[in-house]
Amino acid sequence: MTGRLGGILTVLALVAVAIALYLSAVKLSGGAPACAVISGCETVNSSEYSTFLGIPVAILGLGAAATILAGAVLWWRRADTRGLYLAYAIGLVSLPVLAWFTYLEVAVIHAICLWCVAYALVIVSGWAAAAVALRGVR
Amino acid sequence: MTRSSRPSGTTKRPVAPEPSRRSPMVIITVAAAALGLLAVAVLAIAGGLPGGSSPSALATPVVQTPTSLEDGRSLGAADSPITIDVWADFQCPVCARFTRDLEPAIVSRYVEPGLVRLTYRDFSFIGPESFDAAVAARVAEAQGASFWAYHDLLFANQGAENQGAFSRDRLGDMAVAVGLDRQPFLAALDDPAMLAAVHEETAVGQSLGVDSTPTMSIDGQLAAGLPDWTRLSAYLDGLVAVASSAPTGPGTSAP
């Protein structure tokens, strides 16, 4: 049971970690290097909503993705259901937060960061995979 | 502890339901969802609820371009050995950072000593307010105000893209701030020639290969984005060295 879904969950978490790492690096290095024709990341990244209590939101996203990754690996490689519960729980905590930030992009900042959208989709997919896997655990 | 055996033949008593044990799945789901919603509430309160940050009073530019160097939309002497064209969009936040963080260093180290002539070029692509702002800056200059003072005000007063940061009212406020009369200024914003000039210059930028902002054209060499000052100054120092050692004549190629 842990095989295929465990692999999928781990890969999704790895992708989320990679995206969050990139966004964190961009933020910590002072922001996007240019305003390109096909991009809104620089606007989102320089908005007042890109930090929370002084911490870049991308770093918080990196923490969430890394925790999901740890849980996914724990379940996938050691069949430890605590890892699956952890990935599921962090994914579920992230859902309303991601919905909030997507709302901010669309309705307040009026710019869409494709990397942020990709991160949100990957986290939602990972949470769905964890939920499906948990049905087999119970 | 022995298990008492039930006498055979007796009727089976209904088994009392066991105290309900909630599955960890339910507990985790409820707790995680509640935590997520709590996080959103904290984010909304700490970050300020949307809608309360509509543009109001004008912000004063943190850095003001020295107008003594101004020559229209250029800064510096016309016979400076090096030219830098800065292709920018007034709604681009990275351009605002360029203006605030990098331009003052270029001006003080290269423009003031007469080594570089820096020119602002319109590359308007983010939306209608990019064009409105670019037209307004041209109108301000045409009506006798400092282009660079207006330019600094625009970058200091960016907001959400195309959401009123560069509305006519705000552009009028900026015109008043640089010493112009509001009504003639607002009337001139409708001059189709000004808008055409912005479109034309943007098209020129596209034909040169500009596809993002800010992009510097340093003696014709394009450098997109916000460069590291150490690398940029080393590059410009190299150009200055070549220009100062070369005899008057054909230009030198970039390193």
User: pLDDT digits over A69-86, tens only?
Assistant: 999 999 999 989 999 999
Chain B residues whose beta carbon lies within 8 Å of the beta carbon of residue A42: 92-94
Mean pLDDT of A2-23: 91
At B53, give phi and psi (nearest 5°).
-115, 35
User: pLDDT digits over B14-56, tens only?
Assistant: 555 554 556 788 888 888 888 888 888 888 877 656 554 455 6
Q: What does the pLDDT read at residue A52?
A: 84
ipTM given for this complex = 0.79
Q: Cβ A85–B28 below 8 Å, yes or no?
A: yes
Chain B residues whose beta carbon lies within 8 Å of the beta carbon of residue A95: 33, 36
Q: Cβ B213–A34 below 8 Å, yes or no?
A: yes
Residue linked to tokens 């005000």: B153
Q: Between B46, B160, B212, which is nearest A108 by CB?
A: B160
Nearest alpha-carbon partner for A17 in A115, A129, A103: A115
Q: Cβ B160–A34 below 8 Å, yes or no?
A: no
Task: In whole angstroms, give the CA distance from residue A25 to residue A36.
Answer: 18
Task: In whole angstroms, give the CA distance from residue A100 to residue A125.
Answer: 17
Mutation target to probe the B interface, by most B beta carbons within 10 A, among A35, A60, A75, A100 is A35
Q: Which residue of A has its CA nearest to B48?
A: A49
Chain B residues whose beta carbon lies within 8 Å of the beta carbon of residue A47: 160
Q: Between A32, A110, A134, which is nearest B160 by CB?
A: A110
Interface contacts A/B by beta carbons within 8 Å: 102
Q: Which residue of B has its CA nearest to A51?
A: B47
B223 in reach of chain A (CB within 8 A): no
Mutation target to probe the A interface, by most A beta carbons within 10 A, among B22, B27, B29, B40 is B40
Cβ–Cβ < 8 Å for B91, A42: no
> What token pair was written down for B58?
């004008």
Q: Between B33, B43, B53, which is nearest A100 by CB?
A: B43
Q: Cβ B28–A43 below 8 Å, yes or no?
A: no
User: Mean pLDDT in chain B?
Assistant: 86
Residues in chain A: 138
Q: Which residue of A has its CA nearest to B24?
A: A85
Q: How confident is the model at residue A33 (pLDDT cuts 50, 70, 90)?
A: low
Q: How confident is the model at residue A39 (pLDDT cuts 50, 70, 90)?
A: low
Question: Which residues 47-66 of B are in CB contact (within 8 Å) with A?
Answer: 47-48, 50-51, 53
User: pLDDT digits over B75-86, tens only?
Assistant: 999 999 999 999
Q: What does the pLDDT read at residue B7?
A: 46
Chain B residues whose beta carbon lies within 8 Å of the beta carbon of residue A138: 23, 25
Residues 6+ apart with CB under 8 A from B89: A35, B95, B122, B123, B124, B125, B126, B130, B134, B213
User: pLDDT digits over A89-132, tens only?
Assistant: 999 999 999 999 998 888 887 778 888 999 999 999 999 999 99
| Side chain identity at residue B192, one-letter code | P
Q: Which residue of B has its CA nearest to A134?
A: B25
Q: Which residue of B has its CA nearest to A108?
A: B50
Q: Is the pLDDT of residue B4 over 60?
A: no
Chain A residues whose beta carbon lies within 8 Å of the beta carbon of residue B230: none
**What Rg, from alpha-carbon coordinates, does chain A have?**
16
Q: What does the pLDDT read at residue A38?
A: 57
DSSP annotation of B38 reads H
Chain B residues whose beta carbon lies within 8 Å of the beta carbon of residue A110: 160-163
What are the CA-CA distances from residue B159 to residues A48, B93, B126, B222 (Å)?
11, 9, 12, 28
Q: Shortest Cα distance from B33 to chain A (angstroms)?
A: 6
